């Protein structure tokens, strides 16, 4: 390839700040390409001039996959795909369909376009201001397993958004032409596997995906179920356990604020006809009480951050009180609408917190024991720290459950599993069919938080292991803890994470083959995504 003598025009400078405001960078050279030719020109110039290229996305992430915090970013080029590279073409076949989309499109815009064709997903992340590319990079998920006797809808999946990919076009190194170019991978090409959830190790320019018919869902909130009942050691007739609701409707989420008795439990039930007791909704974000930080919360946060950590229980109780009051005041406890209108509920001005994140792969019968063991350990640790006048966890526990990214859900014959998906099936345990997603949230920089997270993480890896379960990290969240920081534990980075994936080295080899110059990397990525 000829040397690109002139730097591409149209650059500007932008800043970066992740969701918890703990990873940031300023004055980063940025481009918003209008087409793939411009994108390739930028990438090839960057490679020739020793720049790293990162897609800036919507910055709704915790882990430092994009840039390093406070790093010298003078040799980084940001690509903002969301300004121009957001076209979508939808093809409907019968009740279901497919679409081809550029990955800069925001999820809410994509779901809105699909809804107009009576198409839609039943499980996806709660924020709507994420790019499709960002969601696919970290195998973004919702909460969804089959209810009792429920069959998979045509072109649906019980797994993550990544499992819907039919084909994708990535920016890759062409050794013959000696430049970066586009290459389309089909879902039955073994080399597509690490690209299906690429962790930001490449640029996915365009995807073709399957999508089922849209459904109307009823979303009910419950705030009267004690945690002792919801997270009981096993499912029992008459108990309102988490498993009970999964059997009933397949889609459930628990948000349990610290030092409260009852979680905020939400369930989504397929409801083609309008339930007369429900509130019909025609747009998303129907919990306005959680969209902003009320003065009572901000005042408590200031107290906690200024030497009064013992106010933490008051904050947990206030948060739950606001949920209860808000659900009643906005008549939001029982909603009914198209899928996106009841599944999207997180806005950019929601309280910014940090979070750890793990997917526990196991069999469905283990859901209750896993949840019971986890919350029991959590409460033991909270009590232990409390006795030391330490209050590291001031945000809620969040629980969601999905199926796995099984390739047989794909309409493509011979489809391969997403190699780096946190819910990739475990070949040695075909009986494992669910992923239990566990998060604990806390305010950024809370004293002893990393120490608590580290202790909990070591227990999770040790407890959910062997023939009982397998623990994988949630790429976008916090993990790899030391007592001082996240993403710094060398044993987790070098052994535990790679060891949780079959063919890790093969996946790394494919990614390196298509980006041998490490153009699409960050400092953290170069530590993590390497062959064992």
Rounded Cα distance between 89 and 98, Å, is 9
- The three state secondary structure string of 126-157 is CECCCEHHHHHHCCCCCCECCCCCCCCCCCCC
Quote the tokens at residue 363. 């069999």
Residue 96: strand pairing partners: 93
Q: What is the DSSP string of 159-227?
A: S-GGGGEEEEEEEEEETTTTEEEEEEEETTSGGGGGGTT-TTSSEEEEEEEEE-B--EEEEEEE----H
Q: Which helix (H) or strand (E) holds 436?
A: strand 434-442
Report helix angle 295-305 to 312-329, nearest 10: 170
Residue tagged active-site, from 54, 60, 218, 472: 60
Laid out side by side, the sheet with 76-79 consists of 12-17, 24-31, 76-79, 52-55
Residue tagged active-site, from 38, 191, 206, 253: 253
The answer to whether 180 and 1 have CB atoms below 8 angstroms apart is no
The CA dihedral of 381, 386, 389, 394, to the nearest 10 degrees, is: 80
60 is a catalytic site residue? yes
> What is the gyration radius of the CA atoms in the chain, in angstroms?
22
The answer to whether 319 and 409 have CB atoms below 8 angstroms apart is no
Could you say which DSSP state residue 408 is in? Answer: G
Angle at 36 between CA 35 and CA 41, to 5 degrees: 105
Return the closest-CA partner of residue 486 out of 445, 518, 526.
Answer: 445
- Quick count: other Cβ atoms within 10 Å of Cβ 518? 15
Rounded Cα distance between 371 and 153, Å, is 28
User: How many Cα atoms are found within 13 Å in the side-chain-facing hemisphere of 410?
Assistant: 24
User: How many Cα atoms are found within 13 Å in the side-chain-facing hemisphere of 487?
Assistant: 22
253 is a catalytic site residue? yes
Residue that the structure tokens 């990162």 belong to: 54
Rounded Cα distance between 145 and 365, Å, is 13
Rounded Cα distance between 23 and 99, Å, is 34
Rounded Cα distance between 86 and 69, Å, is 28
Residue tagged active-site, from 398, 455, 457, 474: 398
Quote the tokens at residue 5. 């003598």
The answer to whether 236 and 372 have CB atoms below 8 angstroms apart is no
398 is a catalytic site residue? yes
Rounded Cα distance between 11 and 19, Å, is 25
Residue tagged active-site, from 54, 141, 218, 400: 400
The answer to whether 403 and 433 have CB atoms below 8 angstroms apart is yes
Phi, psi of 494 (to 5 degrees): -90, -25
Q: What is the largest CA-CA distance in the chain?
A: 73
Instruction: Give the residue numbers annotated as catalytic, written as ranges.
Output: 60, 253, 398, 400
């Amino acid at each position: 390839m000829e040397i690109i003598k002139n730097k591409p025009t149209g650059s500007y400078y932008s800043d970066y700040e992740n969701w918890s405001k703990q990873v940031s960078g300023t004055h980063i050279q940025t481009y918003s390409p209008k087409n793939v030719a411009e994108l390739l020109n930028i990438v090839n110039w960057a490679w020739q001039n020793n720049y790293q290229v990162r897609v800036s996305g919507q910055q709704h992430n915790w882990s430092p996959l994009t840039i390093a915090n406070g790093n010298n970013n003078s040799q980084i080029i940001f690509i903002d795909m969301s300004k121009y590279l957001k076209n979508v073409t939808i093809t409907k076949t019968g009740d279901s369909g497919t679409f081809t989309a550029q990955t800069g499109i925001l999820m809410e815009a994509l779901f809105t376009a699909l809804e107009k064709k009576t198409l839609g997903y039943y499980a996806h992340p709660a924020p709507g201001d994420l790019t499709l590319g960002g969601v696919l990079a970290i195998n973004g998920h919702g909460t969804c397993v089959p209810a009792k006797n429920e069959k998979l809808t045509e072109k649906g999946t019980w797994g993550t958004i990544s499992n819907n990919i039919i084909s994708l076009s990535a920016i890759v190194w062409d050794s013959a032409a000696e430049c970066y170019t586009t290459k389309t991978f089909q879902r039955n090409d073994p080399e597509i596997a690490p690209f299906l959830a690429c962790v930001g190790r490449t640029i996915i320019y365009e995807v073709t995906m399957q999508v089922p018919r849209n459904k109307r869902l009823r979303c009910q909130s419950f705030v009267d179920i004690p945690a002792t009942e919801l997270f009981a050691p096993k499912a029992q007739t008459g108990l309102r356990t988490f498993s009970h609701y999964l059997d009933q409707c397949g889609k459930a989420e628990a948000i349990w604020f610290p030092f409260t008795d009852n979680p905020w439990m939400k369930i989504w039930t397929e409801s083609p006809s309008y339930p007369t007791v429900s509130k019909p909704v025609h747009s998303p974000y129907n919990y306005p009480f959680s969209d902003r930080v009320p003065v009572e919360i901000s005042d408590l946060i200031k107290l906690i951050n200024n030497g009064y950590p013992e106010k933490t229980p008051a904050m947990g109780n206030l948060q739950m009180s606001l949920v209860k009051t808000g659900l009643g005041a906005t008549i939001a406890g029982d909603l009914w609408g198209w899928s996106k209108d009841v599944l999207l509920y997180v806005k950019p001005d929601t309280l910014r917190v940090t979070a750890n994140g793990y997917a526990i792969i196991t069999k469905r019968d283990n859901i209750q024991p896993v949840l019971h063991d986890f919350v029991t350990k959590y409460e033991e640790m909270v009590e232990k720290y409390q006795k030391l006048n330490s209050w590291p966890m001031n945000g809620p526990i969040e629980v969601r459950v999905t199926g796995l990214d099984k390739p047989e859900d794909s309409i493509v014959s011979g489809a391969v599993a997403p190699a780096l998906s946190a819910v990739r099936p475990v070949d040695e345990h075909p009986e494992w069919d669910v992923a239990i997603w566990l998060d604990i949230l806390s305010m950024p920089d809370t004293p002893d938080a990393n120490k608590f997270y580290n202790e909990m993480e070591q227990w999770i890896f040790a407890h959910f292991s062997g023939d009982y379960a397998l623990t994988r990290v949630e790429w976008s969240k916090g993990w790899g803890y030391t007592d001082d920081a996240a993403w710094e534990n060398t044993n987790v980075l070098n052994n535990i994470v790679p060891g949780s994936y079959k063919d890790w080295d093969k996946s790394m080899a494919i990614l390196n083959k298509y980006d041998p110059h490490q153009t699409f990397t960050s400092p953290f990525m170069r530590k993590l995504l390497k062959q064992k």
